[in-house]
Amino acid sequence: MDLYPLQFDPIFKEKLWGGSKIRDILGKDFSPLTNCGETWEMSGVKGNLSKVSSGHLAGKTLPELIDLYKGDLVGNTVYDTYGNEFPLLIKFIDAAQDLSVQVHPNDQLAKERHGSLGKTEMWYVFQADEGSTLITGFNREMTRESYLDYFHQGRLMEILNKEEVSPGDTFFIPAGRIHTIGKGLLLAEIQQTSDITYRIHDFDRTDAEGNKRELHTIEALDAIDYQFKPDYKTSYESQINSPVSLVKSPYFETNLLHCDKEIVRDHSDKDSFVIYICVEGEGEMIVSGSTTNFCMGNAILLPQTLKKVTLQTNFSFKMLETYAP
């Protein structure tokens, strides 16, 4: 059976800190949940497997597709490395409250402790309430010992780097970098396929039953990268109708496409799938004569065998274009 651009049924996640923007801004109905903190648009995480939403492959999960098509879907290099495990997880996140201060382990630590991949990720902010902030990294030189001193004194927030955030801001979060998403932000997240989080601080919040969430103070110590960086936000020059590189990492590379006219993308040089995530506007994707409409909040998986894609719009769009290096 021929491959085609694939879309998946979203997996909705109710969260203590979730809100209503997934429904109100992205138009995704998450009922009967009372809120939605995350929608997983493309997931190969066990227990949360994305299923194709339309076409002759409707109902098949990502691992089933990879098992069926192998390198034709994901690329031979990707298949040789990951087998039937899809290497990336695509989410939209709505933070109506601050998320916990947290960190993710790298591949080595995650494999030793959990038999899992680590979690390197990136964020692209496409809606931000006025005054919204996030935390990424430290605001001064740190060591494990100095970190523990501040932590045990209840002064953790003093040493964390807080950033004011606007739409279009991009942050790369390698495994080991302490971080949290602040309230009022709606963002797209691209990450390794991993659901391992070490929660460091949760603002003493309780759930509906009055229980605090578990903290992972000791586990986090070996995972944290204590290095200080003078600048954590990705710097890029916006361009119209030409791809702009946002992230290049060992796990994924991501470009931003901001277009107000037709653009043709040729992926003949890649041995990888390509994922398109619409973060603004709308348009049509034309591949091998078939047309797929997209708008803000859509994520589309382009199989490796489909090399050339035409993106059209009557107005304009912004798309994240991501793939395995």
Q: Which residues are catalytic?
A: 199
Written as one letter, the residue type at 325 is P
Longest dimension (CA), the chain: 63
CB 292 within 8 A of CB 230: no
> What does the block give as tokens for 268?
């003949």
What SS3 class is residue 23?
A: helix
DSSP states of 33-97: SS-BSEEEEE-EETTEE-BB-SSTTTT-BHHHHHHHHTHHHH-HHHHHHHTTS--EEEEEEEESS
Please list, in sequence order, all residues whose beta carbon lies within 8 angstroms of the beta carbon of residue 258, skipping any fewer than 6 positions away.
Answer: 238, 239, 240, 241, 244, 316, 317, 318
Among candidate residues 286, 292, 288, 297, the one with its CA nearest the CA of residue 320: 297
User: What tokens does 151 get?
Assistant: 């932590």
Residue 201 pairs in a beta bridge with 101
Angle at 205 between CA 181 and CA 178, to 5 degrees: 35
Residues ≥6 apart with Cβ < 8 Å to 158: 150
